[in-house]
Structure 1
Amino acid sequence: MPELVKLTWTPNPASGLPRSARRGCDYEAYVPDLLAGRTFSLSGGTAADVADAERAVQRLNREARGLADSEAVARLLLRAEAVASSRIEGLEVGGRRLLKAQLAVGLGDDPADVTATEILNNIEAIRWAVEAATRAEAITVDHLLSIHARLLAGTRIEEHGGRLRAEQNWIGGSSYNPCSAAFVPPPSTRVLTLLDDLCAFCNDDALPAIAHAAIAHAQFETIHPFIDGNGRTGRALIHVILRRRGLAPVVVPPVSLMLATWSQDYINGLTGTRYRGEASSREAVEGLDAWIALFAAATTRAVADAERYEQRVAEVQATWREALGRPRADSATDRLLRALPGAPVITVQSAAALIDRSEQAINNAIPRLLEAGVLKQTTAGRRNRAFEAVDLIDAFTDLERQLPSPDGDTRRTPPGRRVPQRRA
């Protein structure tokens, strides 16, 4: 059974805070049930929603290979999730700016763009998490700590990276104390035991993959094991589970962004999993069932957005090929057209490494691509000449605008969070 631990908040009288923020109080911290070894049951409707969502993810991964380079699309969808999820955290960076910062880092420049650096850490953390945790025999607490350390590397709170919190945290209410908090996670002394249990659950495969990822994500957010970066780490965990279970071997749809778009439903869904009493109670069973149904619906919608985006990428590539007079198969030009979705901003050097051709071959191909309107010259870093695929960046911006809209069109339903400006 979950516990409510009664605690007392004792303020520091020398903190210099306003009197209202220095008051003490009694509060309750929620310690959830353990997950490993539990039996879960889904209602008929939720089981059908989960099956629909899994078929959608399988279709996305299967058909991606026919529409466009699947690895390239996977990288760009991951970048879209990193950009938008960072925007949820208050880090404002447009896709073009991030792509240039990423290229500058690849060229050995030190990007002065601190915000872009945080988002690049987000991309790297999810990429590493998916690769390392998929290869590993089992997910461990050390994997979660490593993901978190990569997320916070180079940020103002880097010293907290990869370290479990040693103090109480809370969600909502005052920034100074938990007295008016909407939710108080478990005391820090209980965090390691809960994470060990969560990892044991993550390594089981008794549940369908979508339900598995939904429960693991909710439990992680309830534990809230870090001082900061819990949201981003919890979103990375979704990627890890869907990849480990084999449901999304190449492309993971941006499901966590749909949950953020349906923000109030998301909060209500998580709250519904924080039941009191027996796990077999009606409240517990219905709350978890409703959460899994919401997660499945978010996955299905995320797949639909990803498929529309991927179709747009394929249309852009077809237009390019028509403008270029159908370039010779496997030429440098042909390889660049296939690689650009994953790297819409390139230099001669990065393009040569990307398609495994000489810089001379790239220098021969780029004038054709400029003349056909595939590329436009720009700069990256301090003084590096670069080239950007404007059509792809515009499509990426459209995706960033589409994901935060409840029904996928900001002209009909305003986005629930900040989005890039509509392109002219």
Structure 2
Amino acid sequence: MQRGLTGHFVPVSTLGEQCRAFVPAALPPSPALALDETLHEQLQNASLAIGRLDGQVDVLPDRQVFLYSYVRKEAVLSSQIEGTQSSLNDLLTHEMDLAPGVPLDDVTEVSCYVSALELGMQRLAEGMPISLRLISELHGQLLSSGRGSTKQPGEFRRSQNWIGGSRPGNALHVPPPPDMVQDCMGSLEKFIHNDPVKTGTLIKAALAHLQFETIHPFLDGNGRLGRLLIALILSSEGMLRQPMLYLSLYFKKNRAEYYAHLQQVRETGDWEAWLSYFLRGVKETADDAALTARRLWTVFREDRAKLQTLSGATGSLLQAHEQLQRVPLLSAGKAAIKMNVTLPTATKALQRLQTLGIVREITGGKYGRLYSYEAYLSILSEGTEPLR
């Protein structure tokens, strides 16, 4: 539906030039969303896909294994959209304090995103509602170190920003001036809490994400936090028991369409076209995540069966395999600690797994060797190649 401009412009002066900042109207859209047969079907298909994902992960022997991995994949993808070049392998290596040769600023940024994701899960589990307080706390964690640490972590911006273009005067979008950010975010918080009307969870997540991106309330980290907001809404409202649905890969693969929809809503009010795009992404992402869970479980089960049929298989060999399911990059030293065995025992187990073709030693050195669970990382890394 073409509603026209979904807000109003106010004049601002920044960097010595005059321009117009866009202040979005409070949600929900007016006139109300027109859900035709196609959108109803997309909404139903997306909901069913999320249900299948929730059920698929529920049958895993250890859902935390999947969650650990998937959170890190999301952190890499979401940060890549913002321009980092870190890979999933870089992040996992960094987390083991074995990060020579990786782009430190990039991998620190991704690591902070993991921390923000985990903090969000923790706060929801503690019963904290999605609020400006929570959003600010997560932003503070997101920018706690690295390149963004000087850009007011945890605080709404006090200066004007813009999106696209070399300066405000030729920008694609100039968000609300800083003195209006608090009110805009306050209205968004009310909408998330079903004020003035109750809104379905998926529609709420779609609208809230776009509104957050339009407000752009922080100096840095808006994109990553806006994507995280989707998962938090779905989890907080019980659609997913764990926040495991992340749209960054879908947005990454369809980024031209994504940015076009954001601007189209601002200029024409066509929320329905954005919702259709969003629901396609939810279904695709949920289906892919459920398939990934099944593929990982198949790899784990088949490799364990292989180990159990070996003559002379030891408990330490099975223990090492269990640890690699939790962390697909492992050193002998870390393995010895986690398995509560001696270093020679852990080393022997990992070397045997290498002989069997289950892991690969990736450092090539005599000391500080690092073993990679190849089949696991191959599945997990799909789609995480850095943008060029």
TM-score (norm. length: structure 2)? 0.85
Which ranges of structure 2 fall in alignment gaps of 5 or more residues?
none
1:233 offset after TM fit, Å?
0.8
Q: Trace 1:390-409 onto structure 2 (pairs within 5 A).
A: 390-400=374-384
Query: 1:61–1:251: 8 Å Cα contact kept in structure 2?
Result: no
Q: Trace 1:11-410 onto structure 2 (pairs within 5 A).
A: 11-12=15-16, 24-25=17-18, 27-35=19-27, 40=33, 42-66=35-59, 69-104=62-97, 113-160=104-151, 161-174=153-166, 177-204=167-194, 206-250=198-242, 252-274=244-266, 284=269, 287-326=270-309, 333-334=317-318, 336-348=320-332, 350-351=334-335, 357-360=339-342, 362=346, 365-378=349-362, 384-400=368-384
**Structure 2 residue 387 is the aligned partner of structure 1 residue 418:** yes
Count of residues in Structure 1 that have an aligned counterpart in Structure 2: 374
Per the alignment, in what secondary structure is the counterpart of residue 395 of structure 1?
A: helix
Which ranges of structure 1 fall in alignment gaps of 5 or more residues?
13-23, 276-282, 402-416, 420-424
Query: 1:164–1:225: 8 Å Cα contact kept in structure 2?
Result: yes
What do you get for the CA RMSD once the two structures are aligned?
3.2
Rounded to whole Å, the distance in 2 between the matches of 1:246 and 1:194 is 26
Rounded to whole Å, the distance in 1 between the matches of 2:10 and 2:243 is 44
Give a deviation string over 1:304-334, Cα, whole Å, max 9, x none: 3223333332332233124313589x95554
Q: Look up the equivalent residue of 2:297 and give its one-letter code.
A: A
1:41 offset after TM fit, Å?
5.1
Pair 65,11 (structure 1): closer, same or farther in 2 beyond 3 Å: closer
Rounded to whole Å, the distance in 2 between the matches of 1:301 and 1:42 is 20
Q: Tell me which moved more, 219-228 or 126-135.
A: 126-135
For residue 6 of structure 1, the aligned residue among 5, 10, 29 is 10
1:189 offset after TM fit, Å?
0.7
1:370 offset after TM fit, Å?
3.4
1:363 offset after TM fit, Å?
5.9
1:117 offset after TM fit, Å?
1.1
1:68 offset after TM fit, Å?
6.1
Q: Look up the equivalent residue of 1:49 and give its one-letter code.
A: Q
Rounded to whole Å, the distance in 1 between the matches of 2:62 and 2:286 is 17
Q: Tell me which moved more, 191-200 or 41-50.
A: 41-50
Rounded to whole Å, the distance in 2 between the matches of 1:305 and 1:173 is 35
Q: Look up the equivalent residue of 1:90 and give its one-letter code.
A: G
1:231 offset after TM fit, Å?
0.4
Query: 1:255–1:302: 8 Å Cα contact kept in structure 2?
Result: yes
Per the alignment, in what secondary structure is the counterpart of residue 71 of structure 2?
A: helix
Rounded to whole Å, the distance in 2 between the matches of 1:102 and 1:66 is 28
1:257 offset after TM fit, Å?
2.4
Q: Look up the equivalent residue of 1:321 and give its one-letter code.
A: R
Rounded to whole Å, the distance in 2 between the matches of 1:369 and 1:362 is 11
Identity %: 26
1:99 offset after TM fit, Å?
0.8
Query: 1:36–1:197: 8 Å Cα contact kept in structure 2?
Result: no
Rounded to whole Å, the distance in 1 between the matches of 2:295 and 2:172 is 42
